[in-house]
Amino acid sequence: MENIANLSEKQIEIERQLGFCERVREIVMNKYGYKPLAFVHTYGCQQNVSDSEHLKGYLELMGYGFTDDLNEADLVLYNTCAVREHAETRVFGNVGILKANKRQRPNMLICMCGCMAQQTKVSDRIRKSYPYVDILFGTQVRHKFPEFVYRKLTQGKRVFENPKDDSGIFEGIPVHRDGTFKKWLPIMQGCNNFCTYCIVPYVRGREFSREPEDVLAEAKELINSGAKEIMLLGQNVNSYGKNCQHKMTFAGLLREINALEGDFRIRFMTSHPKDCSDELLVAMSECEKVERHLHLPVQCGSDRVLKAMNRHYDSASYLKLIDRARELMPNIQFTSDIIVGFPGETEEDFIKTVELIKRVEYYSLFTFIFSPRPGTPAAEMPDTESKEDKSRRFSEMLKVQEEISLRLNKALIGKKVRLLIEEVDGDMLIGRSSENLVVRIAGKPEDLGTFKNALIVDFDGVLHGKEI
């Protein structure tokens, strides 16, 4: 019920922001005398990519065009990621480089947003040591971007805004979509899980799902405008719908999108094993448009470490999900995220991870060495293991995975797949199958964005297919 009262307030807020877009448009036309250009760079996950599409939607309404060339940009926007230290170091480096650009183009507006910007320690450092950054705003107030630009342009003072704001989803923000036939569709925001190593719940705030009718309306719009693949986005899509007025589970949502007319494919990420229900696996298996691929991050194979990570499942229940999914969808492929070197993770724990990797036989893995994130519980946990041991284990794991991937790829020879042609590479095409396999195939550039049936004929580091 609370949502109803909120709804109109939120609509009014977005109307206000659209008003700022109009005003900024006039100001920048007068200021520059030409259509100014924005350079938007996105770090981090798909959620951030999708946010950038919305920020670009605002920029378009503010009168900006887009450029990939920093040297001709009138506005620079870095949408940042805080998930690992390395990600942050890179951003600080790249923001440092902007000093020279600003000297050459003093009228350039430099803006920084996203998960790093949401953190006070980052905004303090930027305020002090990077005086040429004009606007900094956190993820939780990103819907106010036009207002921040307006304030900077009219008052001249630097704008720093990263308060906590858990008011939920703002519908109606304009979108500038980059992809032509592959589209991102955010279905929720935030995260409530507080895995002990992870900064995301702190920077993204609480979990909120979009109402099913808003998601479905946008899905329809995307399909009507030529989408061949829709990627549903959320930090934990399996818990979709908890706050919605119209109760719906993620399985239900998949079924509804699957029922929409058109030839398109549905992908989703990310799934959390603790919320991966049998209802969802059954829905996947019964929905022909849903990919036969499940990215199900396990993080590690030791129950002791899983507990310390606050993941709320153990290796046995995880393997049950894998077996059930395989039973329902024999051709399914799995991928996962693994963290090596969580505080106190011993050789014995690591061996359990390797055993689990071998047991599941993932098609591929996203592998990370634990990076302590200040403010998270794991950053305070005592560690007994050396850096050398962690790197050795990391390499060992990669080797194990390489062997599995090679074996799985060879076993794919002779299999039939349906490819969405995603890229043209010289006189060849590159397509992706429902199982998330990337396959090279002969064809014409006009085939881009179409589906093709293919037989996998070879693997020599890449899969090769023949149209059938």
Q: Which residues bind ligand SF4 (CB under 6 A)?
A: 191, 193-195, 198, 200-201, 235-236, 272
List the end-to-end C-alpha distance of the chain, in Å, as a whole number.
Answer: 54
Give the position of tokens 């969580």.
Answer: 342
Give the position of tokens 């900024």.
Answer: 24
Among 36, 44, 297, 443, binds ligand F3S (CB under 6 A): 44
Residue among 235 and 433 whose Cβ is closer to ligand SF4: 235
* CA atoms within 13 A of residue 334's CA, in its CB half-sphere: 28
Contact status, residue 371 vs residue 86, Cβ threshold 8 Å = yes
- Residue 241 DSSP SS3: coil
CA quadruple 390, 395, 397, 398: dihedral sign: positive
- Rounded to a whole number of angstroms, the minimum distance from the CB of residue 88 to ligand SF4 is 16
Please provide the DSSP assignment of 315-367 as one string: HHHHHHHHHHHHHH-TT-EEEEEEEE--TT--HHHHHHHHHHHHHHT-SEEEE
Choose the contact partner of 373 out of ligand SAH, ligand SF4, ligand F3S, none; CB within 5 to 8 A by kind.
ligand SAH
| Phi and psi torsions of 38, nearest 5° | -115, 140
Residue among 136 and 378 whose Cβ is closer to ligand SAH: 378
Q: Is there binding between residue 394 and ligand SAH (CB under 6 A)?
A: no
CA distances from 257 to 123, 222, 283 (A): 40, 11, 11
Residue 299 DSSP label = B
Cβ neighbors of 299 (< 8 A, separation 6 or more) are 195, 306, 309, 311, 337, 338, 339, 342
Among 235, 302, 353, 434, binds ligand SAH (CB under 6 A): 235
Residue among 83 and 223 whose Cβ is closer to ligand F3S: 83
Q: Is there binding between residue 54 and ligand SAH (CB under 6 A)?
A: no
Site string for ligand F3S, 190-209 (x = CB under 6 A): ---------xx--xx-----
Size of the site for ligand F3S (CB under 6 A): 12
Site string for ligand SAH, 184-223 (x = CB under 6 A): -------------xx-x-----------------------
Choose the contact partner of 201 out of ligand F3S, ligand SF4, ligand SAH, none; CB within 5 to 8 A by kind.
ligand SF4
Residue among 17 and 271 whose Cβ is closer to ligand SAH: 271
Let me know how many helices (H) and strands (E) the chain has, helices first.
13, 19
Contact status, residue 443 vs residue 452, Cβ threshold 8 Å = yes
Contact status, residue 83 vs residue 198, Cβ threshold 8 Å = yes
Residue among 84 and 393 whose Cβ is closer to ligand SAH: 84
Q: Is there binding between residue 84 and ligand SAH (CB under 6 A)?
A: yes
Radius of gyration of the chain (CA): 23
Among 55, 61, 77, 81, binds ligand F3S (CB under 6 A): 81
Among 62, 75, 77, 82, binds ligand F3S (CB under 6 A): 82
Of residues 310-349, which lie at the interface with ligand SAH (CB under 6 A)?
337, 339
Residue among 46 and 193 whose Cβ is closer to ligand SF4: 193
Counted residue by residue, the chain has a size of: 468
- Rounded to a whole number of angstroms, the minimum distance from the CB of residue 200 to ligand SF4 is 4
- Rounded to a whole number of angstroms, the minimum distance from the CB of residue 197 to ligand SAH is 4
Residue among 188 and 417 whose Cβ is closer to ligand F3S: 188
Residue 210 DSSP label = P
- Rounded to a whole number of angstroms, the minimum distance from the CB of residue 199 to ligand F3S is 6
Q: Which of 266, 324, 319 shows the shortest CA–CA distance to 292? A: 266
Read off the amino acid at residue 177. Answer: R
Residues that bind ligand SAH (CB under 6 A): 83-84, 197-198, 200, 235-236, 270, 272, 297, 299, 337, 339, 368, 370-371, 373
Residues that bind ligand F3S (CB under 6 A): 44-45, 47-48, 81-83, 115, 199-200, 203-204
